Chain A
């Protein structure tokens, strides 16, 4: 009897500690809600506001006047959406080849993939900028989409996935039926690896949506930028005056991502953890 009581008390203490952690994780979001629903003078008053206020719509109106919020969100959707689509196609196609077909130079090409993985971005940043300036891409979304259209991580990850998920007998059977390489990719490989594609897709979309350093440099026209760059500009110009408005922007910029995460959370959390302990 006593031990049951003791273990129940321990479970309670355990959950109480974990809930404190959850509150700490969630707190900045709540803080953003409070800030985005108050005017700047309310924010400046002491003691600080701990409950949401009533000025969200005012802040939203100011935000929409200050920056092209929907335009920059459309740009972010365009970039993240097209990169995700291209990465899924190119990476899975390359991964299929590395996972299931022998060819001369395969080991060298795959090993070089691993080294490429480790090259830091800033080493390539200046020449990338110069090359894109020559191509006339600087200032447009092309400069973000094209270099990100295929990546070493996705190929490596999908190859691991495909190696075990696609059975060789299935490929042999389809070859006997006269299916060529592309048909095998499309009709045999893709349907089997859909969960893997879902992970890579969500992961890529979130990464692109949040990307900041390169867009900050490459998008030289301040009226045509992605959401992250627009937010940073907003913070730069109004960050010391209209807090409520800036915070409204930050909060709204999080929403599309939270939706994507809520849809794919189980997949992404599980697969990331699995990848790490392999």
Chain B
């Protein structure tokens, strides 16, 4: 491959090609160099996305002939209470995970920013949860939240409170999944916030102190406004990934009901949108409807991203 690419390049460069005649052929080695990604993308990105749109107007079990269904898959989707409840589950879990996470991450970052010693050691320790596999961590959290021998219930018992069947009740399930996500992402976002804090010029704080501002005032008047772009970044990333959560509820809840492994636990309380997509597609082999569900998820994610963006934008104009 190397020699094949080398020779013509030399002839191209030695040829005195006038600009108008210097067509695409003069750049063929550059196109060749970027082609692997675009070829892969066409085969496993563009064609599949187009095909999934086509599929969503059909009925197909993956084996037999495809049957034209018009808009009926989307009509069914709009009236599908299971899909709407999966949207609700996803949003509740996302909110339960994201807001505590952003708050804790901000507090951690502010503390880290003022701690001079051991900063690198702290950053290492706080980042650790984020590099561990969701599957292993979900298994471990499953035992922390276990009804019979879980640590959370043992603590509740120790202080004389009633035990909670965490992985068996609608709110327990959501709290457990959200806690897992908060644990995994707080440190990661704290380090991103810390990087943002370090870009705020020290003179601003100096000036605030001269004007007699207290630490709380300084935080709300200087730190928070200066951090808006970083906050937006973290919020957007958390929204896009949080609304597509799959592995956390799937692994955490796979043993809690005899239903499908994508069922989201008792009462489907932890069935997120993407879990519902997997269930419809790969458990029920309903490829046509699965494709419609995937487009539904896409719309929800886009909608939320726009809302996010709008909220932060508007606050910026004030």
Binding site for B on A (CB under 8 A): 11, 14-15, 17-18, 21-22, 24-26, 28-29, 31-32, 35, 43-48, 90-91, 93-94, 96-98, 101, 103-104, 109, 113, 116, 118-128, 130-131, 146-147, 149-152, 155, 175, 180-183, 185, 206, 209-210, 212-213, 217, 228, 231-232, 235-236, 239-240, 243, 246-247, 249-251, 253-254, 257-258, 261, 265-266, 268-269, 272-274, 276-277
Contacts and interface: CB of A to CB of B under 8 A. Distances in A.
Nearest to A36: B140
Contacts of B290: 126
Given A126-B51, A235-B255, 9 more contacts: A18-B108, A46-B154, A94-B34, A113-B37, A122-B277, A123-B49, A125-B281, A185-B33, A235-B139
B297 A239 contact: no
A254 B37 contact: no
A266 B295 contact: no
Contacts of A45: 149
B128 to A, nearest CB: 6
Contacts of B132: 29, 210, 254, 257-258
Interface residues of B, number: 98
Interface stretch (B75-83, B114-122, B168-176, B204-212): B114-122
Contacts of A28: 129, 137, 140-141, 144, 183
B216 interface: no
B48 A127 contact: yes
B139 A246 contact: yes
B99 interface: no
A31 B133 contact: no
A152 B35 CA distance: 12
Contacts of A217: 278, 282
A277 B51 contact: no
A116 B124 contact: no
B206 to A, nearest CB: 18
17 contacts: A11-B115, A26-B128, A29-B128, A94-B33, A124-B52, A126-B52, A126-B55, A126-B290, A150-B37, A212-B251, A236-B255, A239-B254, A247-B143, A249-B136, A250-B140, A254-B132, A276-B196
Contact of B139 (A116, A247, A272, A276): A247
B139 A127 contact: no
Given A18-B111, A103-B27, A130-B62, A25 B230 contact: no
Tell which of B10, B43, B143, B194 has the most Cβ of chain A within 10 Å: B143
Contacts of A123: 48-49, 52, 294-295, 298
B29 A181 contact: yes
A239 B139 CA distance: 8
Contacts of B297: 120, 122
Contacts of B247: 212-213
B115 A131 contact: no
Tell me what chain A mostly uses at the interface: helix, strand, loop, or mixed.
helix
Given A123-B295, A236-B254, A276-B230, A104 B143 contact: no
A133 to B, nearest CB: 8
A11 B37 CA distance: 51
B47 A131 contact: yes
Contacts of B15: none
A32 B297 CA distance: 35
Interface string B276-306: 0110011000010011001101100100000
A250 B139 contact: yes
Contact of B27 (A90, A98, A104, A209): A104
Given A98-B34, A127-B51, A228 B10 contact: no
B37 A151 contact: yes
B72 interface: no
A44 B148 CA distance: 7
B44 interface: yes
What 6 A-B pairs have minimum CB-CB distances, sorted nearest first? Answer: A273-B195, A127-B48, A124-B48, A150-B37, A127-B51, A250-B136
Interface string B182-195: 01000110011011
Contacts of B129: 25, 28
Contacts of A130: 51, 62, 287
B127 interface: yes
A182 B135 contact: no
B166 interface: no
A25 B128 contact: yes
B24 A261 contact: no
Contacts of B244: 120-122
Contacts of B24: 104
B45 interface: yes
Interface string B26-60: 01011101101110110111011101100100000
A101 B255 contact: no
Contacts of B141: 28
